[in-house]
């Protein structure tokens, strides 16, 4: 096992559709692609897969115009954030904040 480094995102698919990071890596997860354009596509099955595995790939779910619209919307949000990054500021104190600060100072003293 390697610590402190990321492994390349590649895997090996067996006959059951399981994907593992490498032959020596026992971590496996299911990999399945759904196609919304095919007859018999069952959205509930895809949703169940999402709930079980934490991700789902559904090809053909959005048309070209919808994908372009989403890309433009995301790009607009990113451009706005680059120009004016969100700054929450100090905000209002919350109940017990003084006690928390005192406790943090006590247990996590900064030394120079």
Q: Residue 31, Cβ neighbours under 10 Å: how many? A: 13
Residue 90 has what pLDDT? 80
pLDDT at 5: 41
Chunked mean pLDDT (size 10), the chain, 112 residues = 38 46 55 92 93 91 94 94 84 84 79 52
What's the pTM? 0.46
pLDDT at 97: 87
Closest by CA position to 56, among listed 39, 36, 72, 40: 36
Tally the residues of the chain. Answer: 112
Torsion angle of the four alpha carbons 58, 59, 65, 66, in this order, in degrees rounded to the nearest 10:
0
Measure the CA–CA gap between 84 and 89, rounded to whole angstroms: 14
């Amino acid at each position: 096992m390697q610590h402190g480094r990321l492994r390349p995102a590649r895997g090996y698919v067996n006959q059951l559709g399981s994907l593992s990071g490498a032959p020596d890596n026992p971590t496996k997860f299911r990999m399945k692609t759904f196609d919304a354009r095919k007859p018999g596509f069952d959205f509930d099955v895809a949703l169940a897969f999402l709930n079980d595995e934490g991700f789902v790939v559904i090809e053909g779910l959005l048309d070209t115009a919808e994908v372009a619209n989403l890309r433009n919307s995301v790009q607009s949000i990113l451009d706005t954030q680059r120009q004016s990054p969100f700054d929450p500021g100090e905000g209002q104190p919350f109940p017990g904040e003084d006690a928390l600060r005192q406790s943090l100072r006590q247990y996590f003293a900064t030394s120079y």
